[in-house]
Structure 1
Amino acid sequence: MKHSGVDKPTAQGLLALKQRIADHKIVPSIKDKTINLATWNIREFGRKTRLDSSIHFIAEILSQFDLIAITELRKNLDDLKRVMKVLGPYWDVIYSDYVADWGGNWERIAYVYDKRNVRFTGLAAEADSPRKKNKRTGEYETEFDWWRKPYIASFKSGNFDFVLISAHIRWGKSGRARVKPLKLLAEWVEKRRSDVHTDDTDLIVMGDFNIPRVGDSLYKAITSKGMKAPEALLGLKHGSNLAKNKRYDQILHHPSYTNCFTNHAGVLDFYANDIASLFPEQNMSKRAFTYQLSDHLPLWIQIAVDTEKEELEAIVLNDTDN
């Protein structure tokens, strides 16, 4: 981390932020054993230039994890580059292209990762919507499209290979409008998972799904094909918005390795109903604060990436020669 040279108010804010992070007792990852995976919607990230202090705060928050999916990243990458500079040379990022209309909100999705613990393994693509042949014209046409396409990337840590699929589902005028894109995403993931040519079936689906509650019609849509939230996340007492009363952000899975998720998980509350300690000289409103940091809190879980024992046990159990 490169926090050296910051001014006094930023230093004060960083000390306050570090204390909030320490209070959450995030269990550190262990190289080749575990990684901390997070998803974070950083509000309108790149739309307007953020304060230098906010860039340092965002970098400090990201550094608590090994791999972070960032949603609501806008087409202008200048602020992301500023964050990467603070994070330092051990960190890298891959990101999608932006959708150039108001439906897509000129948004991208990015994966920021610590190269000491996580390796990008080559797959990076947007999920294409299913197409159907028009019998009259002979053309293959999209039946339905996401406003913002999910972004896929493959990674490896320890001896665990996995694929992340991140999405920012439309808000729309009502929850009903979100049911179809969520169900379509569930169907897309299941089809890809069951395809014999899929490179890796350890798929982790995450992002801002705009789901208010676990168990509602929207949650049922995204879990309609068997995906589920790890037990550690289902047991959380609050959501990932600043008021902690909505479960907009989710991490879901349909893994081959049933033991990959640990019991360590949570929501990192950098807000704590206290803006002044982070921005001591700004007299900042809550709304302005959300455009400096975010109106979402990072949702995270720790993954066990040392799968060798489970792999060996599977070989023994599946040995039909004896």
Structure 2
Amino acid sequence: MFHGNVSLEIAEGLKALRARIAKAGIPSSKLDETVNIATWNIREFGKRRRSQAAIHYIAEILGQFDLIGVVELRDDLTDLGRVLEILGPYWDVVYSDAILDAGGNRERVCYVFDERAVCFNGLAAEASPPRRKSGTEYISEASWWRAPYVASFKAGNFDFVAFTTHVRWGSSAEARIAELQGLANWIGAKSREKYKEDRDIIAMGDFNVPDTKGPMFQAITSTGLMLPKPLARGAFGTNLARNKRYDQILHMPHFPENFCNAGGVLDFYARDHRPLFPTLTKEQFTYELSDHLPLWIQVNTDQDGARLDQLIQRKRAGRRG
């Protein structure tokens, strides 16, 4: 991290922020053994120029993880570049194009990652609803307001596909449920493809799902996605009030029992924004940092033991047969 010769106010803010980060209990990742993955909706990131303090705080938060799926990144990438300068030369990004209409909200999806821990594997594409032939044309019957962004990565000997999205809010819960079901169907179909990039899929982002029990959550998990065990324990939210679970990290892993060590929320707000921005209102604060908190998990990347156990079980079963 390259914070440099910051002002007294930023230095004091960084010290307060680090104390809040420490309370999140994020374990350090270990090369070739674990990787820390997060998703964060950074409110209107790039719509207007953020303060220098906000840029340092955002970099400090992102730097706690190895791979972050960022939503609400806007078409102007200037502030993202400012953050990367602080993160340093080992960090890189892969991002989608902006969707310029009102439904797309000029938003991109971005993966920010530390190349010392995570390698980009080559796949980067926007996901689209399935098409059907209509006359001489092939047309999507469904509408996803913002295209999910899919990219492949490798950490240790663990290859995986990341799927990050920002689902519509809209004026109708039914329309949101239909979009969530369409996304679940797409992921389920992708996992069954003969020439799929990888069997391990991690879906994350702002799904605008208020909890993990209602019809919206049932829709997104209907084709096999599941909550990592650490995120399934207890009730907590990713909004500043900590009572709504809009953001999710879900997985369709090959070894679910050996997938995840830990997970939770990094609460940089802690019910008081003033140690970070003493002169701002809470609403102004959300446009400097965000109105969403990062959600994170730690993934086991050394899968050799699980693979050997599976191989032994298959061979023993074959002998008995």
- Output the TM-score relative to the length of structure 2: 0.97
Residue 212 (structure 2) aligns with: 214
Give distance in 2, aligned partners of 1:301 and 1:74: 25
Matches within 5 A, 1:100-139: 100-134=100-134, 137-139=135-137
Secondary structure, counterpart of 1:9 in structure 2: helix
Give distance in 1, aligned partners of 2:192 and 2:150: 16
Secondary structure, counterpart of 2:264 in structure 1: strand
Secondary structure, counterpart of 1:108 in structure 2: strand
Deviations along 1:197-246, one digit per CA (max 9) or x if unpaired, are 11211111111000001111110110111211112101143100001110
Alpha carbons 1:260, 1:305 under 8 Å: kept:
no
Matches within 5 A, 1:237-256: 237-256=235-254
Give distance in 1, aligned partners of 2:218 and 2:305: 34
- Which residue type is aligned with residue 96 of structure 2? S
- Which residue type is aligned with residue 265 of structure 1? G
Alpha carbons 1:259, 1:304 under 8 Å: kept:
no
The equivalent position to 2:223 in structure 1, one of 219, 222, 225, is 225
Give distance in 1, aligned partners of 2:234 and 2:248: 12
Alpha carbons 2:253, 2:259 under 8 Å: kept:
no
Secondary structure, counterpart of 1:14 in structure 2: helix
The equivalent position to 1:205 in structure 2, one of 203, 213, 229, is 203
Residue 317 (structure 1) aligns with: 313
Deviations along 1:141-180, one digit per CA (max 9) or x if unpaired, are 1111211001000000110000000110001013222001
Give distance in 1, aligned partners of 2:139 and 2:258: 38
Residue 296 (structure 1) aligns with: 292
Deviations along 1:71-111, one digit per CA (max 9) or x if unpaired, are 01000000000000000011111100010111100000000
- Which residue type is aligned with residue 18 of structure 1? R
Residue 93 (structure 2) aligns with: 93
Give distance in 2, aligned partners of 1:253 and 1:302: 12
The equivalent position to 1:181 in structure 2, one of 176, 179, 182, is 179
Give distance in 2, aligned partners of 1:219 and 1:24: 25
Tell me which moved more, 8-17 or 231-240.
Answer: 231-240
Give distance in 1, aligned partners of 2:203 and 2:29: 21
Q: 1:260 to 1:83 in 2, by over 3 A?
A: farther
Secondary structure, counterpart of 1:82 in structure 2: helix
- Cα distance, 1:49 vs structure 2: 0.3
Alpha carbons 1:236, 1:266 under 8 Å: kept:
no
Matches within 5 A, 1:126-165: 126-134=126-134, 137-165=135-163
- Which residue type is aligned with residue 180 of structure 2? L
Give distance in 2, aligned partners of 1:175 and 1:239: 19
Residue 258 (structure 1) aligns with: 256
Residue 54 (structure 1) aligns with: 54
Give distance in 1, aligned partners of 2:101 and 2:148: 16
User: Unmatched 5+ residue regions in structure 2?
Assistant: none
- Cα distance, 1:120 vs structure 2: 0.5
Alpha carbons 2:96, 2:149 under 8 Å: kept:
yes
Alignment of 1:193 onto 2:188? no
How much is the aligned-residue C-alpha RMSD, in angstroms?
A: 1.1
- Which residue type is aligned with residue 298 of structure 2? Q
Give distance in 1, aligned partners of 2:151 and 2:294: 19
Secondary structure, counterpart of 1:259 in structure 2: helix
- Cα distance, 1:5 vs structure 2: 1.3
Deviations along 1:92-145, one digit per CA (max 9) or x if unpaired, are 1110001011110000000001111111110000002111111xx221111112
User: Unmatched 5+ residue regions in structure 1?
Assistant: none
- Which residue type is aligned with residue 110 of structure 2? A
- Cα distance, 1:321 vs structure 2: 6.0
Tell me which moved more, 40-49 or 191-200.
Answer: 191-200
Secondary structure, counterpart of 1:278 in structure 2: coil
- Cα distance, 1:37 vs structure 2: 0.6
- Output the TM-score relative to the length of structure 1: 0.96
Secondary structure, counterpart of 1:238 in structure 2: coil
- Cα distance, 1:260 vs structure 2: 4.2
Deviations along 1:8-61, one digit per CA (max 9) or x if unpaired, are 111110010011111222111111100111000000000000000000000000
